[in-house]
Structure 1
Amino acid sequence: VLLAMNANVEDRGIKGDCTPLMEAASAGHVEIVSLLIAHGADVNAQSTSGNTPLMYGCAGGHEGAVRVLLEAGANVEDHNENGHTPLMEAASAGHVQVAKILLEHGAGINTHSNEFKESALTLACYKGHLDMVRFLLEAGADQEHKTDEMHTALMEASMDGHVEVARLLLDSGAQ
């Protein structure tokens, strides 16, 4: 009804941060994501912190919303203010299936954030997401990449007490 009455699909509400598409992607409402895109919503709009609808969908693990956004032209390599890409958001939250979708659509597995030089792998290790770490290693992630603090993936896992992640990295040849 609202769209039929020419509602603004880019309205950011009182706080002025998120668009309806960002909110729908964050909640995983695939039909609403599709509807908003069909009515001209910007799939690459950014919040005040630089997050895009795709980043919100990835952080929430919403595979359907992520697919719809990518098919509509969402930028798989956009960075937010922390320098995180959609893949980094998925890795940080442990959403392996979303990470697979992103790599299928050309996401750079070894892209790193601007300021802290974090990668999808170092974020997954920091958070202790064993299945994500396994997936990223199998997909070719650089396990010797160093953050701005010179931390490797093994260091991130070790500092935060993630024993199984550290074991996997060591078994994979990490130094």
Structure 2
Amino acid sequence: MKHGADVFANDNLDRNVLQCLTETSVEHLELAKILIEKGVSLHDYCDLHLQPLHSAVMMGKYESVKLYLDHGADVNAQSLRGKTPLHLALEPTRLKLPIIETLLKRGANTALKTGSGGWTALHYACSYIQREVVKLFLAVGADVLVENDYGQTPLACIPHERMESPGVELIIKVLALKKALQPSLELKDEGIIERYPKLRIYYRSCFEEIDRMRSTRFTEGCTFFDLLAKSQRQIAGLMRSPDFEAKFQLYDLSSEFTTYAEEAKRSFELGWDRSTWSTRLSAAFCLICL
């Protein structure tokens, strides 16, 4: 660059300098920063319809992924076949949890489908079924009922030989909760579950626990199932009761409701945060009105 090299020149695959740099075996963060500051685009597509962020994900370059996102790269940019960076991060040969987690935190849309086959990222995650990856997707609300172009749900994309692997139960418990919340819902996945004894037993145990949560009140107006069924706003309203938190803390959820303890705790915490925020807002409003 000191001698007048054109930083905006593209190669024979129409890759800009930043993308070529990204696809080398070594991570050159400082040079990448300089190129970005000089105006080399993070949004240019090469002939393979990839942007630098796609390449950073494919190369497993975690720091480059963060750098490009910090400078405005589109976390949901789709390649020629509709694959987003999140889809690419799920390929088994390049799967890295920190990259997947970063993409999700930066707003990766789990509902986007590939142009070929209509696969969401959760379909991809299930086809390789790694528990921690599936857990990340479910934590951000990825849809377990969505179907690809072949009518397959994420559960249906799990290979037969891995159907009873760790991670599958995470999807099963979400399906059971959806059914409990909406009994009229027809779940095509129930046909799959019935074919596998381990899944069938676990699915039924989910409903048994849900029934116990329905019948267990920790305050007069709230059961543990309500924590799963009600909105954050409704839960925050219930928390106005002075003994709500104290009575909730009396229960050891991890031993009493082993399947849905984590969800109940998270719902409580989110409701508590909303309730606290609402109380502070009301107090601030009162001060303003004085």
- Write out aligned runs for 1:66-145 (5 A): 66-81=100-115, 82-113=117-148, 115-126=149-160, 128-129=162-163, 130-140=165-175, 145=188
Q: 183, 199, 202: which is aligned to 1:169?
A: 199
TM-score by length of 1: 0.76
- Partner Cα distance (2:200, 2:141) in 1: 28
TM-score by length of 2: 0.48
- Write out aligned runs for 1:23-102 (5 A): 23-60=55-92, 61-81=95-115, 82-102=117-137
- Write out aligned runs for 1:3-22 (5 A): 3-13=36-46, 15-22=47-54
Superposed CA deviations along residues 59-82 of structure 1, whole A, max 9, x for unmatched, are 343221122112222112111121
- Partner Cα distance (1:85, 1:56) in 2: 11
SS at match of 1:34: helix
Report the equivalent of 2:228: none
The size of the alignment, in residue pairs, is 159
Query: For the Cα contact (< 8 Å) 1:122–1:152, is it kept in 2?
Result: no
Larger helix share, 1 or 2: 2
Superposed CA deviations along residues 132-159 of structure 1, whole A, max 9, x for unmatched, are 323322332689526xxxx94369xx7x
1:76 partner amino acid: T
How far is 1:118 from its partner?
0.9
How far is 1:96 from its partner?
1.8
Residues 105 and 170 from structure 1, CA distance in 2 versus in 1: closer, same or farther, beyond 3 angstroms? closer
Query: For the Cα contact (< 8 Å) 2:62–2:99, is it kept in 1?
Result: yes
- Max radius of gyration: which structure? 2
SS at match of 2:155: helix
- Partner Cα distance (2:193, 2:137) in 1: 24
Query: For the Cα contact (< 8 Å) 1:24–1:30, is it kept in 2?
Result: yes
- Partner Cα distance (2:175, 2:143) in 1: 10
- Partner Cα distance (1:26, 1:168) in 2: 36
Structure 1 alignment gaps of length 5 or more: 159-165
SS at match of 2:77: coil
- Partner Cα distance (1:154, 1:122) in 2: 10
Deviation beyond 4 Å, 4+ runs, structure 1: 141-144
More relative contact order, 1 or 2 (CA 8 Å, 6+ apart): 1
1:137 partner amino acid: I
Query: For the Cα contact (< 8 Å) 2:90–2:125, is it kept in 1?
Result: yes
Identical amino acids, percent of aligned pairs: 26
Query: For the Cα contact (< 8 Å) 1:44–1:53, is it kept in 2?
Result: yes
Report the equivalent of 1:153: 192
